[in-house]
Amino acid sequence: MLDHAAKAFFHFLARRTTFQKIAARYGMRGPTGFARRFIAGETVADAVAAARAIEAAGLLHTLDYLGESVSTLAEADAATLEYRHVVDEIIRSGIERNLSLKLTQLGLDVDRACAVDNLRKILDRAEGFFVRIDMESSHYTDVTLDIFETLWSHGYQHMGVVLQADLYRTEKDAARVMALGARVRLVKGAYNEPASIAYRKKADVDAAYLRLTRALLDAGNYPAIATHDPALIQSARQYAEERGIAKERFEFQMLYGIRRDLQRSLSEAGYHVRVYIPFGRQWFAYFMRRLGERPANVGFVIRGIVLENG
Ligand code: FDA
């Protein structure tokens, strides 16, 4: 219950402009800006540098140029252009070619056809890339899966989707995506969903996560088990071992700056571990979701501001 109060509170704060202004002022200032623990920086050069460090540590990565919920076509076009620029920079830098993006960043709230067109422009540019469509709140689940399926059937098969274990519908969605042979990233779900459509108790979300993990390990195409939850990671490892599922047939994923110790130890144990690297000027909403997941992070943010100004 407390989890939901925290999520709701931080989602509410994320929409307050005064709060945004304070965050923008201090969050990314200098190397000690409080948001830097979770966000690689504001430029693609920052992201490439973070990706290089992650590669040097033997881990994989996916780059997310932050942005979501744009409300005009001009913003959607600008985000698309930026993404194409990011693609070019990734190619130029020689780092692994892997991207994550959100459809509302490409204009889904404004015009569906335009968002699809923008996505195609990015996919066409992204030769040799794997592109993951992040999943946003439940309002977008159907449309995201529909767009994904349509593009998949048109031959865009270098992309994957995300499914959220907290939604009751996800077992069916997982079967649908597995039938395509497409890759799933499984997450718990970052949005504050109502009890009519989603599990609200951690124990229920975790139980659903475990069921889905097993289904994906059994029949999925290289699933990504994206969680920092040590118990769920241990269960996935154990299940894969019992079933003789090789370590190369799936990967673990975690967010930049979270449980770096676990990222390293899994990698040292021979598992593929991918770090999700968010960057860009539009980091506020992403950052607030991370605070909402773990209110203890607030103490760390406040300490950062006090230290900087003390
Ligand atoms: P849980 O929240 O139960 O946390 C387990 C443990 O992890 C905690 O006890 C703590 O130790 C650590 N931890 C978790 N969050 C932390 C934080 N913010 N700060 C510090 N420690 C933390 N969601 C979504 O709806 N759509 C999406 O597309 C994605 N994409 C995505 C990609 C990747 C690579 C990851 C890892 C996650 C996502 N998510 C997501 C977010 C996901 O839905 C979920 O909100 C977070 O991963 C937190 O849930 P955990 O599974 O880590 O478990």
Residues 123-161: tens digit of each pLDDT? 999 999 999 999 999 999 999 999 999 999 999 999 999
Is 185 considered catalytic here? yes
pLDDT tops 70 at residue 91: yes
Does 16 have pLDDT greater than 80?
no
> Total structural domains in the chain?
2
Cα–Cα separations (whole angstroms), residue 133 to 40, 50, 100, 123, 250 = 20, 21, 6, 11, 18
What's the 185 CA to ligand 1 centre distance in angstroms? 12
More confident residue, 192 or 3: 192
Contact of 190 with 216, CB cutoff 8 Å: no
Atom of ligand 1 nearest to the CA of 232: 51
| 226: pLDDT strictly greater than 90 | yes
Query: Do 195 and 144 fall within a single domain?
Result: yes
For residues 203-225, average pLDDT: 97
Same domain, 52 and 13: no
pLDDT for residue 2: 52
Expressed in angstroms and rounded, the spacing between residue 79 Cα and the centre of ligand 1 is: 25
Are residue 262 and residue 183 in the same domain, yes or no?
Answer: yes
Selected residue with higher pLDDT from 85 and 2:
85
pLDDT of 275 over the 70 cut: yes
Q: Which helix (H) or strand (E) holds 254?
A: strand 251-255
Tokens 């509302």 belong to residue: 104
- More confident: 298 or 277: 277
Residues 138 and 24 in one domain: no
**Residue range of the domain that includes 21:** 1-38+283-310
- Quick check: CB of 226 below 6 Å from ligand 1? yes
Is residue 187 domain-shared with residue 293, that is, in the same domain? no
pLDDT in tens, 93-116: 999 999 999 999 999 999 999 999
Q: Do residues 213 and 270 both lie within one domain? A: yes
Same domain, 2 and 47: no
Pocket test for ligand 1, best of 228, 233, 283, 297 (most atoms within 8 A of CB): 228
Q: Which ligand 1 atom lies nearest to the CA of residue 255?
A: 36
Nearest residue by C-alpha to atom 1 in ligand 1: 229
CA distance 191 to 137: 6
Element (H, E) at 2: helix 2-13
Q: CB neighbours (10 Å) of residue 244? A: 6
Q: Which atom of ligand 1 is nearest to the CA of 132?
A: 28
307 pLDDT above the threshold of 60: no
Residues 100 and 137 in one domain: yes
Helix 284-293 vs helix 296-309: angle between axes, to the nearest 10 degrees? 120
Residue 114 and residue 3 share a domain: no
CA 54–ligand 1 middle distance (angstroms): 19
CB-ligand 1 contact for 259 (6 Å cutoff): yes
23 with 100, same domain?
no
CATH number at residue 85: 3.20.20.220
Higher pLDDT, 8 or 118: 118
When pLDDT is cut at 50, 70 and 90, the band that residue 308 belongs to is very low
- pLDDT band with cut points at 50, 70 and 90 for residue 8: confident
- Catalytic residue flag (residue 206): no
**Ligand 1 center to 303 CA (angstroms):** 22
- Give the pLDDT of residue 306: 60
Q: Comparing 285 with 275, which gets the higher pLDDT?
A: 275
- Same-domain pairing of 161 and 181: yes
Is the domain of 169 the same as that of 228? Answer: yes
- In the chain, pLDDT over 70 holds for what percent of residues? 91
234-244 pLDDT per residue, tens: 999 999 999 99
**Ligand 1: residue whose CA is nearest its atom 7:** 228
pLDDT at 302: 67
